[in-house]
Amino acid sequence: MLHTTQLYQHVPETRWPIVYSPRYNITFMGLEKLHPFDAGKWGKVINFLKVSLAINRSW
């Protein structure tokens, strides 16, 4: 028996399945700067992808 799911939407081959939300960047009144973990790395990643791959909001 083949199992099907509706958890995922079909992504056309012309698009990349990129999932991002600005809420992924963690902030806590500037205290995140005191920790070596890069709390804003996901914002930096998406900005890098936008510039280097020339992707836009339609991804």
How far apart, in whole angstroms, are the C-alpha atoms of residue 33 and residue 47? 20
Domain membership flag for residue 13? no
pLDDT of residue 44 exceeding 80, the answer is yes
- Is 60 exceeded by the pLDDT of residue 59? no
Give pTM, 2 decimals: 0.55
Residue 38 resides in a domain? yes
Give residue 26's domain range.
20-51
* pLDDT tens digits, 15-43: 777 888 888 887 777 777 777 777 788 88
- 14 φ/ψ sector (left φ>0, alpha ψ -120 to 50, else beta): alpha
- For residue 16, which of 43, 47, 56 has the smallest C-alpha distance? 56
The pLDDT of residue 23: 83
Summary count for the chain: helices (H), strands (E): 1, 0
Q: Is residue 1 part of a domain?
A: no
Element (H, E) at 46: helix 41-53
* 39: in domain: yes
The answer to whether position 32 is within a domain reads yes
The verdict on residue 9 lying in a domain is no
Whether residue 36 lies inside any domain: the answer is yes
Interatomic CA distance for residues 59 and 56, integer angstroms: 6
Inside any domain, residue 6: no
Query: How sure is the predictor about 58, in pLDDT bands with cuts at 50, 70 and 90?
Result: low
The domain tally of the chain equals 1
